[in-house]
């Protein structure tokens, strides 16, 4: 009939949210606590590595962003952090918790003062991406986490937890620095999969 709008087809309605073939690796709460317990915070490198793990999990930085982060990019009173020219050449602003600020200040007190980088070697040089990948994988293995864990998996974990907490995909997009919302949409599939798993086990056998 003329003038009557046809309903959107099912295919059109869901195509934007189609589930990808493979979802990113994320850590649950127990696994996050386990990997954070592995670094020996009594030694300088252990404290530094612990601080980096916290940055990955609580700010969702890419490895390159963490390695290029400078102390001058942090407001040590408010916790405001400026991530300068990350992937896609888009600066963004994030915030540290008081707990994370305390951890970073402890590392700042013992790191080489002449270094340009917040996270550096004990000689003040820029750390390598390979070293960071290796210690993340090593801590995960020691923690008994049977997943392929790397710095980007910790970024995925941050994004998933932030989406679950905020229920705001645009906020997650902004925190991650994604240019396109379609890149961020993958985290909705992770949360949906976790909900599916939870519901399938919900009160299983209790009402029979």
Known catalytic residues are: 62, 87, 152, 155, 178, 187
**Mean pLDDT within 130-156:** 97
The pLDDT of residue 150 is: 97
Q: Which two tokens stand for residue 47?
A: 């404290």
Q: Where are the domains of the chain?
A: 25-195
Tell me the pTM: 0.83
Q: How many CA atoms lie less than 13 Å away from 123 in the CB half-sphere? A: 3
Output the average pLDDT for the chain: 87
According to CATH, the superfamily of the domain at 25-195 is Intergrase catalytic core (1.10.443.10)
pLDDT digits (tens, 9 = 90+) for 160-184: 999 999 999 999 999 999 989 999 9
Phi, psi of 70 (to 5 degrees): -115, 150
Phi, psi of 33 (to 5 degrees): -65, -35
List C-alpha distances in Å: 178 to 89, 107, 124.
Answer: 11, 30, 31
Measured between alpha carbons, how far apart are the two ends of the chain, in Å? 50
Using the predicted structure, report yes or no on whether residue 206 has a pLDDT greater than 70. no
């Amino acid at each position: 009939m003329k003038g009557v709008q046809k309903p959107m087809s099912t295919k059109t309605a869901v195509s934007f949210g189609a589930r990808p073939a493979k979802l990113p690796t994320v850590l649950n709460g127990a696994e996050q606590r386990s990997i954070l317990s592995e670094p020996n915070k009594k030694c300088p490198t252990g404290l530094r590595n612990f601080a980096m793990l916290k940055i990955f999990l609580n700010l969702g930085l890419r490895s390159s962003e963490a390695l290029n982060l400078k102390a001058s990019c942090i407001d040590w009173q408010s916790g405001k952090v400026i991530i300068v020219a990350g992937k896609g050449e888009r600066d963004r602003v994030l915030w540290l918790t008081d707990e994370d600020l305390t951890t970073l200040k402890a590392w700042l007190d013992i790191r080489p003062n002449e270094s340009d980088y917040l996270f550096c070697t004990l000689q003040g040089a820029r750390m390598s991406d390979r070293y960071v990948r290796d210690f993340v994988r090593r801590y995960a293995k020691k923690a008994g986490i049977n997943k392929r864990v790397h710095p980007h998996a910790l970024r995925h974990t941050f994004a998933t937890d932030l989406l679950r907490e905020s229920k705001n995909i645009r906020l997650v997009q902004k925190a991650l620095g994604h240019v396109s919302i379609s890149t961020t949409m993958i985290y909705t599939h992770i949360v949906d999969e976790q909900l599916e798993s939870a519901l399938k086990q919900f009160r299983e056998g209790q009402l029979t």
